[in-house]
Amino acid sequence: MKKRTVIIGGGLSGLACATRLEKENHEYIIIEKSSRLGGRVGSVYEDGYIFDVGFQVYNTAYSTTNSLLDLGELDLKMFKPGSLIHDGKKFQMISDPLRDLSQLFVSLFSSVALISDKIRIMLLKNDLSNYSIDNDPTVDVSTFDYLRSRGFSDKFIELFFRPFFSGIFLENKLETSSKFFKYVFSNFSKGLAALPLNGMQKIPDLIKKNINKTSVTLNRCVESIKSNRRVVLDNGDEIIAENIVITANSHELIGSKSVQYSPVVNLYFSSKTFPKNGKYIYLFPKDDLINNIAVLNAVSPRYSSSSRYLLSISILGFNCDELLIKKIREKLANYFGGGKSSYNFLKSFIIKKATIKQDKNFFSNNSVTMQDGLIFTGQHKVNGSIEGAVISGLKAANYIVKSSKS
C-alpha cells in the first residue's frame, strides 16, 4: 500500500496534522494503536459518570485549538478563577478579584498571601499578558528561582504556587522551566479553566470531524519503520510513504531518544456531601498525598447523572492500592465532612506518561523538525499543553505541504 503521508499516533498532534492535510487535499492515514483518538485527552463513560483519563482542563485562551473546534458544540463550563487552599487547618481562598468580584473581600483578606504578594501577582499578570515563549530572550531558570527573583514570599510560594503548578507540571519541586511557567500563567490570566459539558473526549471528537474517517486506522500498532520509509504494521502489512509523522510516543521506533514524562494517579469518588464552593479547584500544600481535588459535576453537570457528586483526586506518583483508597476516603471525610461512608470509590487511572518533563533550557532545542521524510512532532516539540500538541501537529503539516509544493 502507498500513502503520501503516514501519521503514527492519533493524539492531538496527529489529529491537528491531519486536519491541515485534509484542507490541502493531501493524502494521509493515521495509525492509532488504541480504540479511540485523542491520546492523553480522553474520557470513559460508565454507570452514568464521565471519567476523564486523568484530571485535565481546557483553557479558553487556547486560540489555535479554538480555531479547530466548534465551541458551541463543545459547550465549555468554567471553573471559578482561583483556588481554595487548605493550609493544614482550614480552606482559604485565592481568587482573581478582577474576574470574580464576588470574592473581592475574601481574596483581599486571605492570609495565604502577604499584601506584597498580592501586589506582585497583579504585576506578574500585567507583565505576562502577551507572553510568548518564542519571543522571550531571557535566560531560562527553574520556576522556583523565577518566583524568588520576582520577590514572592516563601509562604505564598509554598501555599499557592507550589500546589497549583504541581498539579500542572506533575512535579512538586518547581524545577520546571520558568518559560513554561510564564506561558501557563499567562494563559490562566487571560482565559478560564473549563470542562466540556460531555467530557474531555469531546475535544478530539470535534477535531476528528475535520478529517475523513476513512483515513483513520484504529487498533493497529506500528511495529517498525524500515528503510525507504516503509511502515510495518503488527499484522504484517506495509505502507510505503513519502512522509512519516512521528508523534511523541513513536520516537522509539527509530531509536530516537525517548521523551521523558512525569506520572500521576487519578482517583474518582462519588459523594453525598457537596463541598462548599465546589466550582473552585481545591489545593492541598500540607497534604502528603493529595495534590488537588475537583468536583466535576459542580462545574459540568453531565459528569454525574445521579444525585451524587463526582470528585476527581490527583496524586503525584504511580501506585494505587486498597490502602491508598482507604486513606483518601478518610481524608475526604476530614476535609469535607459527611463521614467516610459518604464517599464511594469508583475508578482510578495510573498514568505513567501523564505530562512531559520540561526542565530549564527545555526550550533551547525543541522545534518540530523534518529529515528525509521523517517529521518529529508532539508536545515536546512545542510545550506540554493541549495547545502545544495542536500547534506541533499544524507545524508538521506545514512542513509537508511546503515540501510537496517545492
User: What is the average pLDDT across 316-330?
Assistant: 92
In this structure, the answer to whether residues 50 and 92 fall within a common structural domain is: yes
The answer to whether residue 228 scores a pLDDT higher than 90 is no
The count of structural domains within the chain is 3
pLDDT at 105: 40
* Type of residue numbered 355: T
Say if 227 falls within a structural domain: yes
Residues 294 and 348 in one domain: yes
| pLDDT value, residue 210 | 94
On whether both 288 and 341 belong to a single domain, the answer is: yes
Of 136, 169, 190, the domain-final residue: 190
Q: Are residues 27 and 97 in the same domain?
A: no
pLDDT above 70 (res 109): no
Whether residue 82 is contained in a domain is answered as yes
Q: Are residues 134 and 163 in the same domain?
A: yes
Q: Is 348 in the same domain as 280? A: yes
106 inside domain: no
Q: Is residue 66 part of a domain?
A: yes
151 and 212 share one domain: no
Given a contact cutoff of 8 angstroms between Cβ atoms, the answer to whether 82 and 95 are in contact is yes
- CATH number for 85: 3.90.660.20
Domain shared by 180 and 196, yes or no: no
Q: What is the pLDDT of residues 179-220, one digit of tens each?
A: 999 999 999 988 999 999 999 999 999 999 999 989 999 999
Last residue of a domain, one of 171, 190, 209: 190
Predicted confidence at residue 106, as pLDDT, reads 42
CA dihedral 301, 305, 308, 311 (to 10 degrees): -60
Domain boundary among 340, 356, 372: 356
70 lies in the same domain as 215: no
Please check the confidence at residue 311 and state whether its pLDDT lies above 70: yes
Q: Residue 27 belongs to a domain with what CATH number?
A: 3.50.50.60
Whether 335 is covered by a domain: the verdict is yes
Rg (CA), the chain: 22
Is the pLDDT at 118 greater than 70? The verdict is yes
- CA atoms within a 13 Å half-sphere pointing along the CA-CB vector of 390: 18
- Look at residue 1 in the predicted model and tell me its pLDDT: 63
Both 243 and 387 in one domain: the answer is yes
Q: What is the DSSP string of 242-291?
A: EEEEE-GGGGGGGTPPPPPEEEEEEEEEEESS--TTTTSEEE-TT-SSEE
Instruction: Give a yes or no: residue 312 inside a domain.
Output: yes
Same domain, 60 and 129: no
348-384 residue pLDDT tens: 999 998 999 999 989 987 777 777 789 989 888 899 9
In a domain, 124, yes or no: yes
Residue 184 domain boundaries: 113-190
Q: Are residues 34 and 52 part of one domain? A: no
89 in any annotated domain: yes
The pLDDT value given to residue 235: 95
Q: What's residue 23's pLDDT?
A: 95
Q: How far apart are CA 377 and CA 27, in angstroms?
A: 19
Lowest mean pLDDT among 78-92, 239-253, 345-359, 377-391: 239-253
